[in-house]
Amino acid sequence: MNPGKLIVFTGPSGTGKGTILSQVLACEPQLRLSVSATTRQPREGEVNGVHYWFMSQAEFENKIEHDAFLEHACYVGNYYGTPEQPVNDQLAEGYDVILEIEVQGAMQIHKKRPDAIMVFVAPPSMEELSNRLHGRGTESAEKVAARLAQAETELSHQSQFDYVIVNDDLGEAIADLRAILRAERCRVVR
């Protein structure tokens, strides 16, 4: 069996990565989402092992020491990381695996797994991103400001990606990601 493809899906918080992905995952049976670990507090409705593996800082640091992460980063005061073993297992089973991660982690994957397909999701504008993050109401005003500052840095990295999707219209963004997956599955490996 051919191993699956590793896809990195990055973009500033509030660009709609999660919404695009949940719809694409629902119609792409060959695609699996990697469940990340984080030290941030669960939001209302978030379930351990489904949305994230929620853990303490000590647990996370223990996993870093044991080299359990494919990548990890500190983002706005919390750790986030991709457990490596489940990703490798699913790729070996022939599934394509997508990582929804921020830009520092994406760059680590780019170095470690040069075959990974790098996709960046950009907001139509910073103003729109600010409206979405404030409108979502999941973070304090202070945290929203920190995420917006981080977004500026993240946007400056988009030229290092293979594909950029501007999430202006959700249906178009979903179609774009599916088109990328489809084209990559047809790519000739030399």
Q: Which residues bind ligand 5GP (CB under 6 A)?
A: 13, 17, 36, 40, 71, 73, 75, 80-82, 100-102, 104-105
In 3-state terms the chain splits into helix, strand, coil percentages (rounded to 5) of: 45, 25, 35
| Residue 3 Cβ vs ligand 5GP, minimum distance, rounded to whole Å | 21
C-alpha 113/C-alpha 82 separation (Å) is 13
Measured distance CA(53)–CA(63) in Å, rounded: 12
Query: Rounded to 5 degrees, what are φ and ψ at 12?
Result: -55, 150
CA 13 – CA 147 distance, rounded (Å): 7
CA distances from 168 to 2, 75, 101, 132 (A): 35, 25, 20, 12
Residue 162 Cβ vs ligand 5GP, minimum distance, rounded to whole Å: 18
For residue 36, the minimal CB distance to ligand 5GP (Å) is 3
Q: Which is nearer to ligand 5GP, 5 or 147 (CB)?
A: 147
Question: What residue is closest to ligand 5GP based on CB?
Answer: 105
Cα-flanking dihedrals φ and ψ of residue 31, to 5°? Answer: -105, 135
End-to-end alpha carbon distance in the chain:
18
> Which residue, 100 or 176, has its beta carbon nearer to ligand 5GP?
100
Q: Whose Cβ is closer to ligand 5GP: residue 4's or residue 81's?
A: 81
CB of 179 to ligand 5GP, least distance (A): 22
Residue 56: CB minimum distance to ligand 5GP, A: 16
Q: Which is nearer to ligand 5GP, 5 or 120 (CB)?
A: 120
Beta strand pairing call for 96-101 and 117-122: unpaired
State which residue, 69 or 174, has the beta carbon closest to ligand 5GP.
69
